[in-house]
Chains A and B, each alone.
Chain A
Amino acid sequence: LAKTTQPISMDSYEGQEVNITCSHNNIATNDYITWYQQFPSQGPRFIIQGYKTKVTNEVASLFIPADRKSSTLSLPRVSLSDTAVYYCLVGDPEGGFKTIFGAGTRLFVKA
């Protein structure tokens, strides 16, 4: 299982773009990168998943360099409600993908 490393915490202001980077140096060929958001007393919520280059959906973008040893979750124009813990997970969706969580990044958005 690829181990992930993320910053423990980040602060931002409303309306700013936030980029959270995750390192996964030993990512395997078949592994995908998935990001989740968790609010207190709730289960993690799927944000975005990708394999390489760039993926964009209605809430975020995911940038993955060619070597795939890291990935960056980009949240455009954050609001106070984006204050949460963000986790990146790496695994093979077809091959079992046992979900081992790292510490995550605690994002605090200020007014």
Chain B
Amino acid sequence: GAVVSQHPSRVICKSGTSVKIECRSLDFQATTMFWYRQFPKQSLMLMATSNEGSKATYEQGVEKDKFLINHASLTLSTLTVTSAHPEDSSFYICSARGPKRSGNTIYFGEGSWLTVV
């Protein structure tokens, strides 16, 4: 199947700083990518839909000024957590809609653990 990669897999940052997580589609172009966060033993919560060349669409309750999403190319979307606080510590996952040959299946990245200290 199609491959989606995230980087970094783990990051620790100080409270008040910003951190960027990258999501890449490795062998296909993705016009749409999705960002989620997941707390331990809970399901994935959709944060936003990232569309190449346009503004992201955020889910209700997600602060767009805090979670900046950029989808500048067909293979890369980034999530920047600005002015991070300990409560932002979580597992962040991205996904991308695969190509037609895959039935437009959604493929997920490996996830990125963010710890804010």
Contact = CB atoms under 8 A, between A and B. Distances in A.
Interface stretch (B68-76, B79-87, B108-116): B108-116
A97 B106 contact: yes
Contact of B44 (A32, A44, A46): A44
Q: Which of A89, A98, A102 gathers most chain B CB within 10 Å? A: A98
Given A97-B106, A99-B106, A43 B95 contact: yes
Nearest to A32: B103
Contact of B108 (A41, A45, A97, A98): A45
Contacts of A42: 110-111
Interface string A13-48: 000000000000000000010101000011111100
B43 A34 contact: no
A10 interface: no
A49 B108 contact: no
A100 interface: yes
Given A43-B95, A87-B43, A97 B104 contact: yes
Contacts, number: 59
Interface in B42-90: 43-46, 49
Interface residues of B, number: 26
B30 interface: no
Given A93-B103, A98-B49, A104-B43, A43 B97 contact: no
B43 A43 contact: no
Interface in A73-101: 87, 89, 93-94, 96-101
Contacts of B109: 43
Nearest to B6: A43
Nearest to A96: B32
A36 B108 contact: yes
Contact of A101 (B46, B49, B103): B46
Contacts of A98: 34, 46, 49
B110 A46 contact: no
B43 A103 contact: yes
5 contacts: A44-B93, A94-B104, A97-B97, A97-B106, A101-B45
